[in-house]
Structure 1
Amino acid sequence: MKTSPDSRARRKLIALTVSGVILVALIAVGGYGLFVGSHNTPPEEPPTSSPPAPVAPSQPDSFRPEVPRIVPTNDPELFAHRVATALFTWDTGSGLVPLDYTSAILEVGDPSGYEQAGLASDIATYMPTRGAWVKLREYATTQRIEIDTVVVPDSWADAAAQARPGQLPPGAIAYTIDGTRHRDGVWNGTAETLTVPVAFTLFLACPPDGDPCYLLRLSQLDNPLR
C-alpha cells in the first residue's frame, strides 16, 4: 500500500514536533548540580553558541523582537510558575532563536554565577536544537504550557537535609511542575495541535532578606522529584 506525499510529510512533521522529548531522553544531565559540588566552588565558564541565520524575511532595523522578561518576585511558588511558563513558551515565527529564550531565563539565574553554566546546560535540553528550530519554523510552530500543579516534592526535605554545609544557598527550595505542553502549527493549510504531559522540578532560592528569588537548576524533563 502506497503512502501519499501529504501523509509522509505530516508524519515527518509530527516526528519533528516531538523531537524535544526524544532529545531529552538521549541526554544525561548527570544530576542537578546542587548535590554535586559545593556552592563555594568557582563556576565554570558558561557555554557559548552562535544563533542560526534567520530563515524568515529580514525585519526592518527598527524592529528588534525581545523575549518577555520574567518579572522578579520573592514569592517562591509564583516565581516557579513564571519560570516554568517562560521555559515552555516560544514562537518560531517571532524572529527569535532558542538562545534568546535561554538568555531570558538565565537573567533570573544564580546571581553569584556558581550555577549558571549548569543551568545553561539544563535549559538547552528543554529547547529545540538549531536544526529542529529551522524545521519547526517552516510550519509556524509555537509552544506553550498549561500548568496543573506547582508543589514542593515530598523528597525535598530529605534531599536538603543530606546536602553538605554551604552546598545550598539560604532559602533554597524545589518545586515540581506537572502540566501539558501544547505545540501548535500549520500543516498543509490546516491548524494542528500536539499535546504532551510533562513533569519537571525547578530548584530555586528566595533569600530570607526579601531579595527576588533566583533559579538554580532544572531536573531532567519527565524525571522530577516526587
Structure 2
Amino acid sequence: MIALIGGATILLALIGVGLFGLLRGPAAAQTAELQTTTASSRPAPRESVATPNAVAETKDAGRFARSVGSALFGWDTRADGGANAWAQPLIDASDGDEANGVAADVRSYIPDGALWDELRTYGTRQRLRIEAIKVPDAWAAARSQASALQLPPGASAFTISGTAERHGTWKGTPVATERAVSFTVFIDCPDSHPCRLLRLSRPDASLQ
C-alpha cells in the first residue's frame, strides 16, 4: 500500500498481511498491519500495465515454487479485474483438496476490496525480486513427525527470500518502496504429474 505523507520526507505505509500456514489449520479472514518505510528517490520505471500470468505447469519443484512466489507478490492495481484476477492463477495451481485453504492464503497476501481500490488511486503495482530459495532444514523434521495421511508422498517445502518492490505515483511524482520478505511454499509434485500448490506459510514466519 502506498499511503504518502507530504513533508521533507515522503513516508509510505505498507500493508503486511498475516497468513495461516500449512501446519496451523484453516486460514482466517484477512488482517492488516501498517508498516512505514521511506520512499525511494528513484523514479518509477516506465512500464506498461501488467496482466496476471499462470503459474508454471512443471514437474520441477524448484521452478514451480519460484513461479508461485512471483505470482503471489506480483500484481498491478491499474489492470482490469481487481484482486480476484491476480488470485485466481494461484488458486488454479492448487491441489484440489487444498483449494479452499490456498484461496484463503492467497487472498490474505493480495490486497482486496477497499484496500485494492485505495491502492489503485496511486497506480500501485508490486513485484518480487527473488534472492534465495531453499528447502528449509525444518522440513525434514516436519515430514518425520507427520502421519501417513497428513502429507502426500511428493510433498516438499521451499522457503523463498527476496525483496518486494512497489511503485506508484503521488501527486504526479513517482515513488517506490522496497521491503524484505520471507515465506514458505508447500507443494506436491506427484510422480509423472505437474506440481500443485498445497499451502503457504505466514509471511516473514517461514520455515528455517
What TM-score do you get using the length of structure 2 for normalisation? 0.81
Residue number among 153, 159, 164 corresponding to 1:170 in the alignment: 153
- 2:45 is equivalent to residue 70 of structure 1: no
SS across alignment from 2:102: helix
- 2:22 is equivalent to residue 32 of structure 1: yes
User: Structure 1 residue 66: deviation in Å?
Assistant: 5.7
Match of 1:59 in 2: none
User: Structure 1 residue 67: deviation in Å?
Assistant: 2.1
Q: Which whole-Å CA distance do the structure 1 matches of 2:178 and 2:25 have between them?
A: 34
Match of 1:205 in 2: 188
User: What letter matches 1:189 in structure 2?
Assistant: G
Asked if the contact 2:22–2:201 (Cα under 8 Å) also holds between the matched residues in 1, the reply is yes
Match of 1:121 in 2: 104
Residue number among 83, 107, 130 corresponding to 2:113 in the alignment: 130
Gaps of 5+ in 2: 30-49
User: Structure 1 residue 174: deviation in Å?
Assistant: 0.1
Residue number among 198, 202, 206 corresponding to 1:220 in the alignment: 202
User: What letter matches 2:22 in structure 1?
Assistant: Y
Match of 1:183 in 2: 166
User: What letter matches 1:95 in structure 2?
Assistant: D
- 2:82 is equivalent to residue 97 of structure 1: yes
Asked if the contact 1:119–1:216 (Cα under 8 Å) also holds between the matched residues in 2, the reply is yes
The structure that has the greater radius of gyration is: 1
Superposed CA deviations along residues 187-218 of structure 1, whole A, max 9, x for unmatched, are: 1211111100000000001112x210000000
Q: Which has the higher strand share?
A: 2
- 2:131 is equivalent to residue 141 of structure 1: no
User: What letter matches 2:61 in structure 1?
Assistant: P
User: Structure 1 residue 36: deviation in Å?
Assistant: 5.1
Q: 1:187 to 1:36 in 2, by over 3 A?
A: closer
User: What letter matches 1:32 in structure 2?
Assistant: L
User: What letter matches 2:198 in structure 1?
Assistant: L
Q: Which whole-Å CA distance do the structure 2 matches of 1:155 and 1:109 have between them?
A: 23
**How many residues in Structure 1 have an aligned counterpart in Structure 2?**
181
Superposed, which structure 2 residues align to 1:2-21 within 5 Å? 6-7=6-7, 11=11, 14-15=12-13, 18-19=14-15, 21=16
SS across alignment from 2:22: coil
User: What letter matches 1:160 in structure 2?
Assistant: R
Q: Which whole-Å CA distance do the structure 1 matches of 2:101 and 2:172 have between them?
A: 41
Q: Which whole-Å CA distance do the structure 2 matches of 1:184 and 1:66 have between them?
A: 16
Q: Which whole-Å CA distance do the structure 1 matches of 2:147 and 2:202 have between them?
A: 22
Gaps of 5+ in 1: 38-46, 48-64
Asked if the contact 1:66–1:96 (Cα under 8 Å) also holds between the matched residues in 2, the reply is no
Asked if the contact 1:151–1:175 (Cα under 8 Å) also holds between the matched residues in 2, the reply is yes
User: Structure 1 residue 170: deviation in Å?
Assistant: 2.1
Q: Which whole-Å CA distance do the structure 1 matches of 2:52 and 2:188 have between them?
A: 23
